[in-house]
Amino acid sequence: MLKIAVCDDEPNMVAHICKLIEKNPVSQSGGIVREGGLRTDSYRNGNHLLQAMEDGLFYDLIYLDIEMGDIDGINLAKRIREQDEAVLLVYVSSHDKYMIDLFEVQPFRFIRKPIEKKIFDQVLEQAVTRLLGSQCYFSYESGWNECRVLIRDILYFESDKRKIIIVTEKSREAFYGKLDEIEERLKQMNKCFIRIHQSYLINPEKVMKVGAGKVCLVNQADLPVSKKRQKEVNEQYLQQYWR
């Protein structure tokens, strides 16, 4: 799921942006649907957005006004960046005199008010393309928390009874789930992971060597390859990197 926040102290503008997002063709088909849907939350107060993020809510894309009553959009973005360096920020404002100040917070785009639908649609489609590319996240629920991890950082998924363990070079995070469902979800996202065993689903970009009965990953972990999957694993790996 891709999650979007819209923050502007003008209620009519918030509603207008949310409607533009909802009516955009990319919201109805293609990558977003494969990713699992789109959710848009609206805020008329920058501090409320910050509080939501501090409470564990994350967003992939945030639309911000610059001049708002409680906190201006530039300082708000600085606070957001302290919590999330990867989120895409799009400013929607009639005040382009702040353009130089915006470089510090690395916005993705700037859209002038009044909004031209064609420009808005182009920016949203560009953002979705970016999000479904190298910055794509795998999201999951752990307890009452909503969590995510960059797919490019994942070494492998491991099934342990009713739990799934996501392994990166820096962490091991567990949640309840089924490996078959995760494999299918990644396929729908056009992410190539290889099922080497009933209990393991690996990221081929993290493989150092494929041998008889095992694969060696970049973190020096050796994972077993089941006999019935050995031929398929070899073919998938070679097809991925040597065609």
pLDDT surpasses 50 at 105:
yes
Do residues 165 and 60 share a domain? no
- The count of structural domains within the chain is 2
Token couple for 143: 């307890």
70: domain CATH number is: 3.40.50.2300
**Tell me: the pLDDT tens digits for 186-234?**
988 778 899 999 999 999 888 888 888 999 998 889 999 999 888 888 8
Do residues 97 and 195 share a domain? no
**Tell me: the pLDDT tens digits for 46-56?**
999 999 998 88
Q: Check if the beta carbon of residue 151 is closer than 8 Å to that of residue 202.
A: no
d(C-alpha 214, C-alpha 223), whole Å = 5
How much is the average pLDDT of 128-155? 82
Lowest mean pLDDT among 99-113, 114-128, 160-174: 99-113
Comparison of pLDDT for 55 and 172, the residue scoring more = 172
Percent of the chain with pLDDT over 90: 47
Do residues 120 and 28 share a domain? yes
pLDDT surpasses 80 at 136:
no
Residues spanned by the domain of 188: 153-241
Using pLDDT thresholds of 50, 70 and 90, give the confidence band for residue 35. very low
Do residues 126 and 193 share a domain? no
- Whole-structure pTM value: 0.65
- What is the SS3 assignment for 21-71? HHHCHHHHCCHHHHHCCEEEEEECCHHHHHHHHHCCCCCCEEEECCCCCCC
Does 148 map to a domain?
Answer: no
